[in-house]
Amino acid sequence: MAKWTKLILYTIKVFILFTGCTILFYYGIMWLNEEYQDYHRYDEPKGAAIKVSTANQDEEDWLHRFILFYQIGE
């Protein structure tokens, strides 16, 4: 009988530990979601920002960029 009692107590401990970790993980994910919910990464930069890339509309330019894309391995 003592063997069954130890097994049940061990099962309850594992269940409580699993439930506690699950709740902690859930609230951690909710906190991260709330933290970054209003973060606008695509807003225009403020200050003295300059444009780095100049895209030409030539047909040869897109072919060159396409070949470069595969050479770099992206």
* 10-residue stretch averages of pLDDT, the chain, 74 residues long: 92 98 97 87 78 62 82 78
Three-class SS of residue 29?
helix
Which backbone phi and psi does 57 adopt, to 5 degrees? -100, 15
Chain-centre distance for alpha carbon 9: 38
DSSP state letter for 42: T
Write down the pLDDT at residue 30: 96
